[in-house]
């Protein structure tokens, strides 16, 4: 990463209208979108700016936030692109929650409850007619008021069509059928509730083991393979799962999801129930 992007003055002004004077801290700046935490006396917000390749993706995300029940967003344009301001969601990510699990330091009860809460948050999104399309270990925030999902750039619903430039989200958590759809060249690619459940199970697997679910080495796929070749391999359903056994009882139902064809995957609420009964 080079120098952190400049936070748009217009966004700071919008943030200060709700927070009072803010102190900005840069969180991430990659692939044309940057996020800052803006901390004020009255409130704390997230500011996201999209520029270059990230401009239209960030604009789309703010439009999704505007449509989703329970989300608040203020958005605008600046000289380099677009920005939006939304409340800061306080709490650990799912990845953070599972840190003691990866280190073998206990904490299983809290982690398992958090896994169930993540499944229920996805279930609620699906019940509202939305598909997230890019679930990842960093995209669930475990707040005191439940899990909130981040990075809704690629979300779609019957009233908000999928983006023509969507390429399936993070490659490592792609379901085989979505990988095949991306590689087929058909556009728009439509993530589904079933592909979300695959990514949800893959997210939890990754949080437990600290590794992406698929054993690329075993399939002879080197680290330098590009995203397109990786998707093509995933689409063949021949890349095996990693054999890590960090938490066998929780990994077993996740393994079933990751191996199942779309039509045999549980729904998000069904997966929540399975995990809650462990
Ligand atoms: N509203 C928010 N509340 C708390 N953290 C946020 C919020 N929005 C973004 N973040 C933080 O910024 C990171 C990057 O945001 P994200 O929307 O995933 O951007 P990117 O497109 O770069 O992946 C998240 O993983 C999270 O740590
Ligand atoms: Mg993200």
What percentage of residues in the chain have a pLDDT greater than 70?
A: 99
Give the pLDDT score at 176: 98
In a domain, 46, yes or no: yes
Does 46 lie in the same domain as 99?
no
Q: In terms of domains, do 41 and 128 share one? A: no
Q: Which of 87, 114, 141 is the last residue of a domain?
A: 87
14, two tokens: 């919008």
Q: Which of 84, 93, 23, 86 is nearest to 55 (CA)?
A: 84
Ligand nearest to the CA of residue 151, numbered in listed order:
1
Examine the domain organization and report whether 81 and 120 are in the same domain. Answer: no
- State whether 154 and 113 are in the same domain: yes
pLDDT in tens, 99-145: 999 999 999 999 999 999 999 999 999 999 999 999 999 999 999 99
pLDDT of residue 210: 98
CA distance 134 to 242: 21
pLDDT of residue 3: 84
Q: What is the pLDDT, as a whole number, of residue 2? A: 63
Query: Is the whole-model pTM more than 0.95?
Result: yes
Mean pLDDT of 224-239: 96
Output the average pLDDT for the chain: 97
Instruction: Please check whether residues 213 and 143 belong to one and the same domain.
Output: yes
User: What value does the mean pLDDT take over residues 221-246?
Assistant: 96
Ligand 1 mutation pick, 46, 49, 83, 146, max ligand atoms within 8 A of CB: 46
Q: Ligand 1: which atom is nearest the Cα of residue 89? A: 3
Specify the CATH number for the domain of residue 253: 1.10.510.10
Our count of domains for the chain comes to 2
Q: Is 17's pLDDT higher than 90? A: yes
Residue finishing a domain among 61, 87, 113: 87
Report if residue 157 sits inside a domain: yes
Domain assignment of residue 18, given as a range = 9-87
**Ligand 1 center–CA 220 separation, angstroms:** 33
Place of tokens 């800052």: 36
134 and 267 together in one domain = yes
At residue 1, the pLDDT reads 47
Q: State mean pLDDT over 167-180.
A: 98
| Ligand 1 and 35: CB distance under 6 A | yes
Asked if 83 and 99 sit in the same domain, the reply is no
Shared domain check, 194 and 80: no
Task: State whether 264 and 133 are in the same domain.
Answer: yes
pLDDT digits (tens, 9 = 90+) for 32-52: 999 999 999 999 999 999 999
Q: What is the mean pLDDT of residues 158-177?
A: 97
- 249 CA to centre of ligand 1 in angstroms: 31
Does residue 151 have its Cβ closer than 6 Å to ligand 1? yes
CA distances from 75 to 28, 97, 153 (A): 19, 31, 14
Q: Which of 65, 55, 73, 76 is nearest to 5 (CA)?
A: 55
Nearest CA to ligand 1 atom 26: 138
- Residues 123 and 235 reside in one and the same domain: yes
Other beta carbons within 10 angstroms of residue 112's beta carbon come to 18
Q: For the chain, what is the radius of gyration of the CA atoms?
A: 19
d(CA 174, CA 38): 33
Nearest-angstrom CA–CA distance, 26 and 59:
20
Output the CA 46–ligand 1 centroid distance in Å: 8
In a domain, 4, yes or no: no
Is residue 53 lining ligand 1, measured as CB closer than 6 Å? no
State yes or no: cis peptide before 188, omega within 30 of 0: yes
Closest among 48, 46, 28 to 37, alpha carbons compared: 46
* CB 232 less than 6 A from any atom of ligand 1: no
Q: Whose CA is nearest to atom 19 of ligand 1?
A: 151
Residue 3 in domain: no
Extract long-range pairs of 213-218: CB within 8 Å, 24+ residues apart: 213/172, 213/173, 213/241, 213/242, 213/258, 214/172, 214/239, 214/240, 214/241, 214/242, 215/239, 215/240, 215/241, 215/242, 215/243
**72: which 2 tokens?**
């608040």
CATH code for the domain of 61: 3.30.200.20
State in Å: Cα 211 to ligand 2 middle: 17
- Cα 139 to middle of ligand 2, angstroms: 6
Task: Give bridge partners of residue 44 from the DSSP assignment.
Answer: 39
Does residue 178's CB lie within 6 angstroms of at least one atom of ligand 1? no
Q: Identify which of 188, 167, 151 has the alpha carbon closest to the alpha carbon of residue 234.
A: 167
Ligand 1 contact, 44 CB (< 6 A): no
Task: Give domain status of residue 2, yes or no.
Answer: no
Residues 22 and 132 reside in one and the same domain: no
Establish if 267 belongs to a structural domain: yes
Record the tokens describing residue 104, joined without a space: 């073998």
**Single residue among 66, 87, 108 that ends a domain in this structure:** 87
């Amino acid at each position: 990463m080079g120098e952190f992007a400049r936070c748009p003055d217009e966004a700071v002004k919008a943030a200060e209208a709700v927070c009072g004077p803010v102190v900005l801290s840069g969180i991430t700046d990659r692939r044309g979108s940057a996020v800052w935490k803006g901390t004020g006396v009255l409130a704390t917000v997230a500011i996201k700016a999209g520029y270059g390749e990230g401009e239209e993706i960030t604009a789309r995300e703010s439009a999704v936030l505007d449509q989703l029940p329970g989300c608040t967003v203020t958005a605008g344009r600046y000289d380099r692109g677009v920005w939006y301001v939304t409340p800061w969601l306080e709490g650990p990510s799912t990845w953070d929650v599972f840190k003691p699990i990866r280190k073998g330091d206990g904490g299983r009860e809290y982690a398992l409850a958090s896994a169930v809460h993540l499944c229920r948050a996805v279930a609620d999104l699906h019940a509202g007619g939305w598909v997230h399309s890019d679930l990842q270990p960093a995209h669930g925030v475990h707040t005191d008021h439940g899990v909130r999902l981040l990075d809704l750039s690629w979300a779609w619903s019957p009233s908000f069509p999928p983006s023509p430039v969507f390429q399936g989200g993070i490659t490592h958590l792609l379901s085989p059928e979505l990988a095949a759809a991306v590689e087929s060249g058909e556009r728009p690619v439509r993530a589904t509730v079933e592909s979300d459940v695959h990514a949800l199970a893959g997210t939890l697997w990754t949080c437990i083991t600290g590794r992406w679910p698929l054993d690329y080495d075993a399939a002879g796929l080197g680290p330098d393979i590009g995203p397109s070749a990786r998707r093509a391999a995933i689409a063949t359903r021949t890349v095996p799962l990693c054999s890590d056994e960090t938490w066998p009882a929780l990994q077993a139902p996740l393994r079933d999801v990751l191996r199942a064809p779309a039509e045999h995957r549980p729904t998000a609420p069904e997966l929540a129930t399975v995990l809650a009964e462990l």
